[in-house]
Amino acid sequence: MALTPGSFSVLPASLSAKSAPALTAADDEHFAAVAAYLDHARTDLAGRLAAARRAPGGTGQHALDRDQEVHRLTARLRALSRFDADLCLGRMVTTDGTTIYIGRFGLTDDDDEQLLVDWRSPAAEPFFAATHAHPMGLVSRRRYRWGRPAGARAVVVDFWDEVFDPALLVDETERAALDDQSAFIASLGASRSERMRDVLATLQSDQDAIIRSEARSPLVVSGGPGTGKTVVALHRTAHLLHADPRLAASAARRTGGVLVLGPSEPYLAYVADVLPSLGEEDVLTATLRDLVPEGAGAVEETDALVASLKGSVEMATTVVDAAVALYEEPPTEPLWVSTELADVRVGPTDWAAAFDAVESGTPHNEAREQVWDALLDLLVDQAADALDEGFDDDDDGERAGQAASELRRALRRHSELRRAVERAWPLLRAADVVGDLWTVPAYLRRCAPHLTREEVLVLRRPDAAAWTTADLPILDAAHRRLGDPDGERRRRRRERVAEAERRQRNEVVADLLAGVHETGGDEYGVGLLSSLRHADAQSVLVDESGLDGLDSSGAGGGGVGVERLAGPFGHVVVDEAQELSDAAWQCVLARCPSRSLTVVGDRAQARDGFAESWEERLARVGLGAVRVATLSTNYRTPVEVMAEAEPVIRAALPDVDVPTSVRSTGVPVHHGRASELEPLLRAWLAEHAEGTACVVTGDPSAVSGLVAERVRVLTPALAKGLEFDVVVLLDPLTDGLGVNDTAAAVDRYVAMTRATQRLAVLTP
């Protein structure tokens, strides 16, 4: 395999000390080998993928295996196509002189030579975790900073070496190249884009320790702005998928895996490239809005009292259960049902027994079939004596059983009985049940006796479907408690389609069998075709797995997306978790029965305040044995910005943890008037060909006329989790919003700490 010619190290003149061939030649040779093998691997994968796609689809397990192989090859080809030699993050040299190159993925050539060690493997841990106090068997470590000139291959534009034993340096060339922090600090100050920048090569030892921690109990990653909480959570997700093959396999099958819950759509767009760049494309990402069909049209809840009342655990559990239970009370009036085979009486005890037969935990709408089955069993037993009359036990037992089956079918088709069952156990929709709580005070008082009369009136609204974000956890609980009201209709449709396919196949087999007899076929052919008439053969012939997509829709019409987000998941990541109400936590826990969670948040950024510890908050919502890992170094926000942001948050929350910034830009915070907004932004855009800016305001519509490339206008809530080179804060943020002092301080603190280079605070 020919090596790619030319150097992969293209360092600027300011780094001439690092450009000596003695420092870069070995790397260039290794990068060439990596690039050449990647070309070979991509060609091979493309061929195998094409062959897999041309292969017959088959049915049943064969079809599933083929689809999974196509998915696996596609994902691997897509991952390898994202990178060239920049797949390599760095290298480490051990005390025995071995040089090990670390990559985003593991890479082994056709001769079984390890070109790259996967960053998630135990063998790569020293690369991230070694310190001068604990070198973990390393002599030195080198990290690369890659660039990709337009139309050209990836090249190294900087690197920095760390030596854990300076006595082992060979000559002054190596000593001159030592510059432990230059590339790292430069990367922190690099221009931001619309997507989260790649930080894998610069993960720090405290971050790596959290990433590699086990997932048997809930882990809280706590830290202030710029500490890398989100980075850690996403990289931990990739590490868990690598360390637990079962988790990765379930994600690929779309039957579990990992769910990442973020605070907003801008956040999800911002982090969209992180996991794919680490080779993980099967992780689902969503916001709380995405969990229910009604979420798309919900507006923010601005009434703090309403949000507080709806945010309780009781509202998402006992109140919803009580509301549904009112539709599960058995009738107290008897009903006579007449059929040609027998007359039966459905009394109160029959109704009660049928209702009691529902298995615990069965969603209400799915339980109606259980009610039907139990009721029919009772009624057929009631008519047993009448059905047995005239039958001889010795000769006509089978006929009596057939009569019982016929009676069961007749009762099931009986229009009056059907209407009675439908009235007694109606199919319900979550939006109707929850909407009634807010529009019918008597209904709410009955279901929520813990509320005062005044609180019931506060929750009342004229439009049942005027959904707010505070309604979403309650709607989610109702969807789970009720199940799909259209599920039975779809099940019957699948059965009809499957039965029609069986009849068609039977006709084909009958025709083939007749042809074999007419032509005098051998016994083997006759026997084989005859066997296809048996039920067990029919179950193989009819591929019912393909029928699941018939008329599929999410609960309440939300579509497949809502169904997939219903879980359960093997692991769930929750970012900006300090904002979740107790009711919202029930949405999370319902999707993660294993309680394997990565919880990401900052108590100082909670708009409604966060006086408890993380352990206390999570214990209250049902999570125990919580571990907390704290990040305290701010890699994003300059010292100049934090010097003004810290007093803002401490004025409202004196005891919160504020991280320590590690870098300075030398640019002070600019204070001015709102009239400077447009000139300030235009001047910055003219001076900088790269980078992004954001105007943070409580009312984006007030600056809707400001349209410029690389400039966004967001509220503090939508800016959470994002970062920009320049932030312009239009202060006061809270004009007209009616929020409390804590929320105002948090909004201002969040807005200020989005800046990586410059901050301007403009007032009217």
Name the binding residues for ATP. 223-230
Among 228, 131, 132, smallest CA distance to 662 is for 228
Say whether 425 sits in a helix, a strand or coil.
coil
**Rounded Cα gap, residues 246 and 598, in angstroms:** 18
Annotated binding site: 223-230
Q: Does residue 259 contact residue 569 with C-beta atoms inside 8 Å?
A: yes
- DSSP letter at 709 equals T
Q: Does residue 218 contact residue 595 with C-beta atoms inside 8 Å?
A: yes
Q: Count, in order, helices (H) and strands (E) of the chain.
A: 32, 21
571-574 and 343-346 as β-strands: parallel, antiparallel, unpaired? unpaired
Q: How many CB atoms lie within 10 A of CB 159?
A: 24
**Rounded Cα gap, residues 82 and 104, in angstroms:** 11
Inter-helix orientation angle 229-243/245-252, to 10°: 100
**635 token code pair:** 């890699």
Torsion, CA 381, CA 383, CA 386, CA 392, rounded to 10 = -30
SS (H, E, C) 510-559: HHHHHHHHHCCCCHHHHHHHHHCCCHHHHHHHCCHHHHCCCCCCCCCCCC
Cα distances (angstroms) measured from residue 631 to each of 237, 341, 722: 18, 75, 18
Query: Given the structure tokens 């590490």, which residue do they identify?
Result: 239
**Rounded Cα gap, residues 578 and 617, in angstroms:** 9
**660 token code pair:** 């320590």
Q: Quick check: bond before 166 cis, omega within 30?
A: no
